[in-house]
Amino acid sequence: MGEWSVDSSKLAPGAVGFEQLADRSVGSGKLQDESVNSDHLAAGAVTFDKLAPEVGGLLTDLSGALRTTKLRLAQEPIQPEPPAAPMLAVASAVPGVGLTFGHVDYAFGGIEDRIEVSVSFDAPYADDAYVVFAMADHPGCVCTLKEKSPEKATFDVCRTRLTPAPNGRIQWMAVGLKSN
């Protein structure tokens, strides 16, 4: 260094800032590892040609596969296949499995927001680990399982809107192990 040079001993901490640096004066060798993250990148700053070859190749493959799939779906309407056998017949044919279904009417009497509706089964299940589901046929009501036992299931039918007292029918189905 020359006699008129300024070295680091002559600089106060923090004396060199953004305004003292010349444009394009800091190179990649001066950046700390892991110091540049997604917050430092402008939107659109990373372009396809800057990606590693394996990433670019993967994106190209995915783009081609997506384009091919879109074309195939647009040309070939999907036809659902009917099940090989009716599902109820299959479930009821499995040894030891019981399948019960039906419907029960419900009616709200006044301004209550929920009512209980119970369904008794023709034959009890082995335990309360059976699956049961139900739905109400009124758009202003929902049906949820409140409790169940091997002999019956109890549902809460809840109003979702303030309307005149709704009434309708719950459709339900239960599947589980038969009682011996």
31 vs 4, 14, 35, 40, 100, CA distance in Å?
29, 17, 7, 13, 70
Rounded to an integer, what distance in angstroms lies between the CA atom of residue 141 and that of residue 106? Answer: 11
DSSP strand pairing (114-120 vs 152-159):
antiparallel
**Do 71 and 92 belong to one domain?**
no
Domain that holds residue 167: 87-177
Q: Does residue 94 share a domain with residue 66?
A: no
As a whole number of angstroms, the distance between CA 31 and CA 40 comes to: 13
Q: From the CA atom positions of the chain, what is the Rg in Å? A: 35
Does residue 54 belong to any structural domain of this protein? yes
Tens place of pLDDT per residue across the chain (180 aa): 667 778 877 888 888 887 878 887 877 777 788 888 878 888 888 777 777 777 777 777 777 777 887 777 777 776 666 655 555 555 666 788 888 899 999 999 888 899 999 999 988 999 999 999 999 999 999 999 999 999 999 999 999 888 888 999 999 999 999 887
- Cα gap 120→149, rounded to integer Å: 10
Predicted pLDDT at 83: 58
Among residues 24, 53, 75, which one ends one of the domains? Answer: 75
Give the pTM: 0.50
- Name residues whose C-beta falls within 8 Å of residue 107's C-beta, 6 or more positions apart in sequence: 165, 166, 167
Same domain, residue pair 94 and 120: yes
Dihedral through CA 73, CA 76, CA 80, CA 81, nearest 10?
Answer: -130
Q: Is 177 exposed, middle or buried (0-12, 13-18, 19+ CB in 10 A)?
A: middle
Greatest distance between any 2 Cα atoms in the chain = 106
> For the chain, how many structural domains are there in total?
2
167 assigned to some structural domain: yes
* pLDDT at residue 95, as a whole number: 80
Asked which of 45, 75, 105 is the last residue of a domain, the reply is: 75
DSSP 60: H
* Residues 111 and 164 grouped into a single domain: yes
- What single letter denotes the amino acid at residue 15? A
Chain centroid, CA 105 distance in Å: 33
Q: What is the Cα–Cα distance from 2 to 36, expressed in whole angstroms?
A: 35
